[in-house]
């Protein structure tokens, strides 16, 4: 599988989508994965956190059922442990064993905005997903 973003370029933020994973399970993953996690604010379907990774604070927003059955996790910083969305998506799939999606490129001019990478039990594939 090939993506359009070069391996050296870091994304300014990281966003993935997880199929049928409730916020409570996502929060458990965040607690296990990062040095610390602070709840900032929440509503019924949206939670905002401040996580710490390697002495860097990173705002995170989790939206349950952001797109059909998919919950969104947005790491609002380039200081996350992942260079690109696909790196985070692969790790999340390994943890949850649930379909995980991320944008296929780094939102560059001329890229197909509906092209995503889906990771599931059959592997990785490029798809067209109109969120």
Interval 62-77: pLDDT, tens:
999 998 899 999 999 9
Nearest Cα to Cα of residue 33 among 10, 8, 9, 14:
14
Is 115 within 8 Å of 106 (Cβ atoms)? no
Higher-confidence position of 21 and 112: 21
Find out whether 72 and 66 touch, Cβ atoms under 8 Å.
yes
| pLDDT given for residue 4 in this prediction | 42
17 contacts: CB under 8 Å, gap ≥ 6: 66, 67, 70, 71, 72, 73, 100, 101, 102, 131
Residue 6 pLDDT > 70: no
**What residues contact 9, with CB distance under 8 A and at least 6 apart?**
83, 84, 106
Quote the domain boundaries for residue 81: 14-107+114-128
Residue 50, domain member (yes or no): yes
Can you tell me the distance from the alpha carbon of 85 to that of 106, in angstroms, rounded to the nearest whole number?
8
Using the predicted structure, report yes or no on whether residue 9 has a pLDDT greater than 80. Answer: no
Residue 21 lies in a domain: yes
User: pLDDT tens digit string along 14-44?
Assistant: 999 999 999 999 999 999 999 999 999 989 8
Asked whether residue 37 is domain-assigned, the answer is yes
Percent of the chain with pLDDT over 90: 76
Q: Judge whether 89 lies within some domain.
A: yes
Is 102 part of any domain? yes
Q: Could you tell me the pLDDT band of residue 131, with boundaries at 50, 70 and 90?
A: low
- Asked if the structure places residue 7 within a domain, the reply is no
Global pTM? 0.87
Give the pLDDT mean for 70-93. 96
Mean pLDDT of the chain: 89
* Residues 92, 85 contacting (CB under 8 angstroms): no
Residue 73 within a domain: yes
Count of domains observed in the chain: 1
Q: Is the residue at 6 inside a domain?
A: no
């Amino acid at each position: 599988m090939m993506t359009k973003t070069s391996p050296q370029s870091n994304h300014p933020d990281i966003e993935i989508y997880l199929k049928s994973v409730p916020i409570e399970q996502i929060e458990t993953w965040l607690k296990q994965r990062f040095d610390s996690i602070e709840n900032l604010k929440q509503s019924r379907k949206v939670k905002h956190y401040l996580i710490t990774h390697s002495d860097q604070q990173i705002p995170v927003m989790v939206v349950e059922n952001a797109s059909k059955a998919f919950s969104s996790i947005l790491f609002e910083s380039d200081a996350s442990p992942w260079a690109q969305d696909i790196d985070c998506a692969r790790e999340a799939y390994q943890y949850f064993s649930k379909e995980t999606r991320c944008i296929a490129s780094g939102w560059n001019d001329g890229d197909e905005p509906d092209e995503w990478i889906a990771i599931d039990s059959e592997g990785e594939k490029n798809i067209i997903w109109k969120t």
